[in-house]
Amino acid sequence: MASYAPLFVNDNDRKWTPDAIVFNSWQQYGTPSYWMQTFFGESSGAVIHPVRLNSSYSGSLAASAITWRDNEDIFLRIKIVNFGPNTVNLTLSATGLEAGVDTSRSAVTVLTSNYSLDENSFDDPLKVKPVKSGLASAAEEMQAMLVPYSFTSYDLALDEYGELVADM
């Protein structure tokens, strides 16, 4: 389960920015906090797996790995936050998979902005939003580039469920 508070704020009474959804009498938009919550809400019922970070930037990275099932597929989801000012290149290695990785159904989603304090607004409600794209390089071992101040989710579609350890 994923939850978040405070959830709603009226634009006429906004005193701080952690609210997830901003509204007025005729429109609304999701904040970056709202978009972060969507990553956790859609994979409820997941199995958590151990993760190791091996990088000179490990002080500015946080990661988790889960397997989860949607209506059709099973995924290994590796979520990595780069809260530092540098681009980080990593090798992602999922060892011990009992299933192959299907590149045609795998994807990467990145939530970031050019400035770490950017917020959405009624004038630009999608300034900070997740961008999802196919992951043609999806494999048990692959190269990953994490842009500064970003949340990146690698969804590796699995041919079948298996136990794993994700190394980064």
What integer pLDDT is reported at residue 43 of this predicted model? 67
| pLDDT tens sequence across 27-50 | 999 999 888 888 777 766 678 888
Round to whole Å and give the CA distance between 141 and 92. 5
Residue 10 lies in a domain: no
Encode pLDDT of 76-133 as tens digits.
Answer: 999 999 999 999 999 888 877 777 888 899 999 999 998 888 999 999 999 999 999 9
**Is residue 5 in a domain?**
no
pTM, two decimal places: 0.84
Could you tell me the CATH number of the domain that includes residue 70? Answer: 2.60.40.1180
Q: Give domain status of residue 133, yes or no.
A: yes
Residue 154 lies in a domain: yes
Q: How many CA atoms lie within 13 A of 65 on its CB side?
A: 18
Task: Tell me, yes or no, whether 19 lies in a domain.
Answer: no
| Domains identified in the chain, total number | 1
- Does residue 110 form part of some domain? yes
Quick check: 53 pLDDT over 80?
Answer: no
Assess if residue 131 is contained within a domain: yes
Tell me the residue range of the domain where 113 lies: 46-158
How many helices (H) and strands (E) would you count in the chain?
A: 1, 13
